[in-house]
Amino acid sequence: MNNITWKYSSKLIKETVIEEFEKEMNISLPHDLKECFKKNNGGMPSKNIFDTDKTKGRMFNNLLSFNLNKDEDTIYDIYSAVYLKLKNKDVIPFALDPFGNILCLKEGKIVLFLHETGGTEFITDSFSELLEKLYD
């Protein structure tokens, strides 16, 4: 396992918030991602550089937060923004880079959504694989 420590994580306001989000949005998050959110909600990984199929040296800034009215970058706000832009509820954001781009699940794969162009870049086949590929 890639030895990652997480900074600035905040405890989930309530334990069932992830399941409530899944039910409300009619989606299902992968188990590995849910477990990471439960431990590192809104956190920043110590190893935060990754490569896509098109670009080297992208940055993983922070996980989104499930804590409404507490944290700045909530999954609710970013999910709504991505949905409005793409009209595709199957693109599920989970993290941000420092430049406004969004790490997302799309058809079970991890992609980087480029907010300025609306394009995507493939990263990995799973969240666990993404964590393994992070470097500094």
Global confidence as pTM: 0.92
pLDDT in tens, 17-63: 999 999 998 889 999 999 999 999 999 999 999 999 999 999 999 99
Which residues 6+ apart lie within 8 Å of 25 measured at CB? 79, 89, 92
Residue with tokens 């700045």: 72
Read off the tokens for 12: 């989930």
pLDDT at 79: 85
Domains of the chain: 8-133 (3.40.1580.10)
Q: Tell me: pLDDT of 67 over 80.
A: yes
pLDDT at 70: 62
**For the chain, how are helix, strand and coil distributed in percent, rounded to 5?**
30, 25, 45
Whole-number Å distance between alpha carbons of 87 and 79? 11
